[in-house]
Amino acid sequence: MKQWQRNILILAIGGGVLAFALSQVLPSFRTASSGMTIDTNDAALIKRGEYIARTADCVACHTTLGGKPFAGGLPMLTPLGAIYSTNITPDRETGIGEYTFDDFLNATKHGVRKDNSALYPAMPYPSYGIMPDEDIAAMYAYFMSAVEPVNQPNKASELPPVLNWRWPLAYWQALFAAERDFVPETNDPMLTRGQYLIEGPGHCGSCHTERGIGFQEVALSDAGSDEFLSGAIIDGWRAKSLRGEHRGLGTWSTAELADFFKTGRTGTTAAFGAMAEVVEHSTQYMTDDDIQAMAAYLKTLSPAPGKEIDLPPKQDFTTQKLLDGVYDSRGALLYVEYCQVCHRADGKGVPRIFPALDGNSAVYSRYPDSVLQITLSGGRMPDTPHDRMAFSMPAFNTLADADIAEVVNFIRNSWTNQASEVTVGDVVAMRHFLSKKPRVGTDLPPDLSVTHTEQGVHGE
């Protein structure tokens, strides 16, 4: 080996050792000692913690189909492989039973485990970081005293060798998850509360904000960028833009948003995919005041950059053709055979039972991912006390790829809808993705014993 090669090798090894050593120290700069003493037997504190845990939707990621609440094991797909949620029950061997409050605080807000290693950002600590310590304390009391301990070992990630090392995450945190405080955008108490719930415990940006080159959210608040909540892909679903453009929430009223958060449906649409579980296990339990605050705040967001504020009007010729039996495309024939019985000839569906397809922004979205996935895999509405009939849509995955493309294009461009064309290649790609996607979700039934009058225990 030549001298210059030897020098480069020595520098590389030395640099690697130095980087590793520094990574062991970096998490310590994020941790804090609260000095707080938590009474984990305080009934009022436990009740408040339960409410906050619901607003944070902890159950969604930490519970599997057929699993015990909060016992972990849910696979989360990343471009590099699957990682699994951890057991956050108070089991002393496999859960967080040995966590002090400071351990819990540092994991939840700062992304640092009890052993001082960095957590994967699948845990939304960049959002939870703005939560006050008092709210985290209430959650700690709830998890330690009201959650059943479950002895279930955590699963190792399926990331490939080298990429499954945790120490580089310390640098990710330094680059992309700087410590921050909640900064209200207005003096209006209701809008401030809504902003806090959206940015913080609700961690809406985890799904509805695009990721950057380091898989970080490109913005954590509206003040950071108008790309905040402008829509993103998550588990093959298109989490829609929550901003003010036409294909976002531009056509939604505040009342419709509040109805959607509480019941998972409106007169024209319904929650599906991961959002159905958000309603079922989180937002339906929130107080009416909190729901109204979130809805009001979202309606203050400007349109996403480069997105249409309005679409040109389009006259509906589809309804009369279908009523007259005029099927001028294969997509129309397929719609009549497989879709019309529920969604009707006029594409309006049945209010609060079968969602409308005409005028539904999830249908004519710029991106067809969600329509393709629900067509191929089916879906169901959330179960709440407000609408106890949780209707399901069957999967139409037995249809040929070309037929799926035909009927989806018909739906996206009929009545008053206007959208880009779906190709057979798009269908093939989605079918391939679904063949590898693990069956995930939380099949815990909703807690019908909880009413909104019992929930007014949160901190302001």
> Is 343 assigned a ligand-binding role in the annotation?
yes
How far apart are the C-alpha atoms of 195 and 180, rounded to whole Å? Answer: 15
Beta strands (DSSP E) in 185-295 are 232-234, 237-239
Separation in Å, CA 325 to CA 321, 331, 347, 348: 6, 13, 15, 18
> Is 204 assigned a ligand-binding role in the annotation?
yes
Beta strands (DSSP E) in 113-187 are none
The phi, psi pair for 337, rounded to 5°, reads -75, -40
Enter the DSSP assignment of 31.
-
| Two structure tokens written together for 420 | 């880009």
How far apart are the C-alpha atoms of 349 and 96, rounded to whole Å? Answer: 47
> Is 208 assigned a ligand-binding role in the annotation?
yes
> Is 458 assigned a ligand-binding role in the annotation?
no
Only one residue has tokens 């079968």, namely 354
In one-letter notation, the amino acid at residue 126 is P
Which residues lie closer than 8 Å to 86 by C-beta, 6 or more apart? 62, 72, 154
Q: What is the dihedral of CA 403, 405, 410, 413, to 10 degrees?
A: 180
* Residue of 382, 334, 16 whose CA lies nearest to 168: 16
> Is 110 assigned a ligand-binding role in the annotation?
no
Name the strand (E) or helix (H) holding 155: none
| Two structure tokens written together for 7 | 């020098």
Q: Which residues pair with 372 in a beta bridge?
A: none
Query: Residues within the annotated binding site?
Result: 58, 61-62, 204, 207-208, 339, 342-343
Query: Residues within the annotated binding site for heme c?
Result: 58, 61-62, 204, 207-208, 339, 342-343
